[in-house]
Amino acid sequence: MTDNNFSSTAAFLWSVADLLRGDFKQSQYGRIILPFTLLRRLECVLEATKPAVLEKYEAVKAMPIEAQDKLLTHAAQLSFYNTSKMDLNRLGETDVASNLESYIQSFSPNAREIFEHFDFFNTIDKLAEADLLYKVAKRFATTDLHPDVINNYGMGLVFEELIRRFAESSNETAGEHFTPRDIVRLTTSLVFTNDDDALTQSGLVRSIYDPTAGTGGFLSSGMEYVLELNDKASLSAFGQELNPESYAICKADMLIKGQKVDNIKLGNTLSNDQLRTEKFDYMLSNPPFGVDWKKIQKQINDEHTDKGFEGRFGAGLPRVSDGSLLFLMHLVSKMRPQHEGGSRIGIILNGSPLFTGGAGSGESEIRRYILENDLLEAIVALPSDMFYNTGISTYVWVLSTHKPANRKGKVQLINAAKERAKTGGRGRSGGGESTEEVENVFYAAMRKSLGSKRKELTEDAIDTIVKTYGQFVENDFSKIFDYQEFGYRRITVERPLQLAVYPKDELRITALTTDKAWDKLNEHAQHSILAALASLNNDKYLSRDVFLKALTTELETATPSVKLSAAQLKLIVKHLSEHDDEAEVCKTKGKIEANPDLRDNENVPLTESVDDYFAREVLPHVPNAWIDTKKTDEQDKEVGIVGYEIPFNRHFYEYVPPRSLTEIDADLDKVSSEIMQLLQEVHS
């Protein structure tokens, strides 16, 4: 089927919207057109074996449902069937709604379920109320969707075009369930491009999986990509989707394409993985951005704690406010090891998984697991305003368990969000404001925005990105790093406690006496302490030990004498002292005490020695500092806690010098003269 044919067929089917206009909202058209298209396609596909199915049904209808299902499926020679004598051409002119509902109910359970999740019976009632049901049914009945006219691949293209139109007509919520076609094409190409040679082999059987399947865009795109290379290939699609309507669309699309629809599951992938034991060759996903997982926190925490690396989340858990990395770890758990053929992943994430969380946090540990196991091949930064429901910056991560030799230990960063200054540099905009003109290197502005989507990747841009990735080259928008360059050790730097004590400072004494712990002392002790402080010879002590000895001596002379506990002495010192570089270093049992207020952390790159870094970056500024060697990494037991972050934008930062004062003055003069001219026009 040519592109023109599938486009014209889709346009004809969507033209039913002309009948619906006025009685239904634009965002409702897809909920009518998609299930009717599916219904017409299914009845066309079933037509050849329908007589055999009806004959078999008469013979087996008294049997249990399970037995019936097996025998009728065999008679249909397909994975679904229908036992009704009706079709869209035989609904009659009266009781159309009840006849159509009876017809739908006669499908096999796996097909009937799709119509139920479309809420199709409610749609039938609404069409009947608007006196449109008969007209709509007749319009679809006149469309020839027989497999000898349109094969599964062509019908898949038609259905995808209808899904696209539905997405655009309901762009307010489309981003939750539809991934824009340009993003799907780029991600699919990145995942499959290094396997082009393998995909052209005869007798190829591969699996593709999307844990956030939506309407099936990634699954469809993956199948199209492979079929373009090898029309003899067999690609089995698997997926799971939370939203019932999106699930229905995805399942319908897979049914139209001849896929085994039982591989598409309904439910929450994170809390109820319905393909738990499966591994897949290719995985593609666009999980929701920044969505919290509080509702399923117990199940996730239990799996992390009870199963560890035997489950999906052994590496760590991200903060509850953003579950993106949970989907990434879910996909990683589905990867085949290299000796079993390996797997490849393409997942779209927002910016936070690149850097959120410091050393030892769940996010950092997940990045560590992925990088140290050499799974990450590349990250591609996309322009902003690429999705229907958000304008934020997004990134495509590409992972693999069978990296080629030249990629071992390496990560490629591709900046497809890059813009370049136009020749000529600066332009003028309305109001006299000076702006830097840029050209769009990888995207084109859309003629009409769809929700938040204002830009789309051009075909040339997709080709450029994919070739840059495939050729593994560096240029002004592609850089290659050893994975260790993203890692660091967070060491704890301590400085000695040096306290100057001020026993007669009124503000400090007030702070001491208003502390809740002070109230726990008896009245005699309180009076004795204040008297002892007042009688001390010095207003300032540069030694904590000397101060405490002098205070204790004074308290021993009280009647009766007062003996304070270590905690009570600590309370007094806390309020009467402050750090002073000239003071004596405080020690306990001969060991130097650290000042918690001066405690600091340093991130030492993994590519450097901790001692060398400390000697170069810390000691010249604080010669009496030291590293707390008791704080070690849980995994490698070395000093410092290992962390990983991928500061994408920092690696592509380009310094732009500020404008000269002469240029700024010239602009100000010009604006001032324009203002004066306007004022003169007002007064004249």
CATH number for the domain spanning 200: value is 3.40.50.150
Q: Are residues 482 and 526 in the same domain?
A: no
Query: Which amino acid is residue 684, in one-letter code?
Result: S
Residue 335 sits in the same domain as residue 225: yes
Q: What torsion, rounded to 10 degrees, do the Cα atoms 484, 485, 487, 493 define?
A: 120
CB 386 within 8 A of CB 455: yes
What local confidence, expressed as pLDDT, does residue 458 receive?
86
Residues of the chain with pLDDT under 50: 1-3, 172-175, 421-438
Same domain, 237 and 267: yes
pLDDT computed for residue 617 by the predictor: 96
- The helix or strand, by DSSP H or E, that contains position 523, with its residue range, turns out to be helix 523-535
Tell whether 470 and 505 lie within a shared domain.
no
pLDDT of residue 588: 92
Predicted local confidence at residue 225, as pLDDT? 86
Sequence-ordered list of residues with C-beta below 8 angstroms from that of 48, at least 6 positions apart, any chain: none
AA identity, residue 129: E
Q: Which of 121, 152, 183 is the last residue of a domain?
A: 152
pLDDT of residue 419: 66
Q: Is-contact 56 75, C-beta < 8 A?
A: yes
Q: Are residues 479 and 505 both part of a single domain?
A: no
Beta pairing partners, 375: none
What is the distance between the alpha carbons of residues 26 and 33, in angstroms, rounded to a whole number?
A: 12
Closest to 598 measured CA to CA, from 489, 512, 501, 498: 498
Q: Does the residue 676 lie in any domain? A: yes
605 in a structural domain: no
Q: How far is CA 291 from the centre of its chain?
A: 9
CB 166 within 8 A of CB 34: yes
Residue 161 lies inside a defined structural domain of this protein? no
CA-to-CA distance for 679 and 310, rounded, in angstroms? Answer: 76
Which residues form the domain of 16?
1-152
Within a domain: residue 600? no
Angle formed at CA 114 by CA 74 and CA 326, multiple of 5 degrees: 110
As a whole number of angstroms, the distance between CA 364 and CA 367 comes to 5
Give the rounded percent of residues in the chain with a pLDDT score beyond 90.
Answer: 63
Instruction: Specify the pLDDT at position 321.
Output: 92
* Same domain assignment for residues 642 and 563: no
* Of the residues 532, 565, 592, the one at which a domain ends: 592
Q: Are 421 and 318 contained in the same domain?
A: yes
Residue 547 maps to a domain = yes
Q: Would 163 be classed as within a structural domain?
A: no
Work out how many domains the chain is built from and give that number. 3
Domain boundary among 125, 152, 179: 152
Spatial CA neighbour of 488 closest among 348, 601, 651 = 601
Residue 599 belongs to some domain of the structure: no
The closest of 82, 125, 85 to 105, measured between CA atoms, is 82
Same domain assignment for residues 547 and 575: yes
Cis, peptide link before residue 560, omega less than 30° from 0: yes
Under DSSP, the state recorded for 135 is H
What local confidence, expressed as pLDDT, does residue 1 receive?
A: 44
Q: Does residue 251 sit within a domain?
A: yes
Domain check: are 513 and 481 in the same one? Answer: no
* Whether residue 470 sits in one domain with residue 506: no
Q: Could you read off the pLDDT of 139-164 as tens digits, one per residue? A: 999 889 998 888 877 887 788 788 87
What pTM did the predictor assign?
Answer: 0.83
The answer on 511 and 414 residing in a single domain is no
Same-domain status, 401 and 504: no
Nearest by Cα to 555 from 547, 546, 564: 564
Distance CA(370)–CA(645), nearest Å, equals 12
Q: Is 561 within 8 Å of 555 (Cβ atoms)?
A: yes
The model's pLDDT over 515-555, given as tens digits with 9 standing for 90+, comes to 999 999 999 999 999 999 999 999 999 999 999 999 999 99
Residue among 491, 497, 493, 489 nearest 626 (CA)? 493
Residue type for 443, please?
A: Y
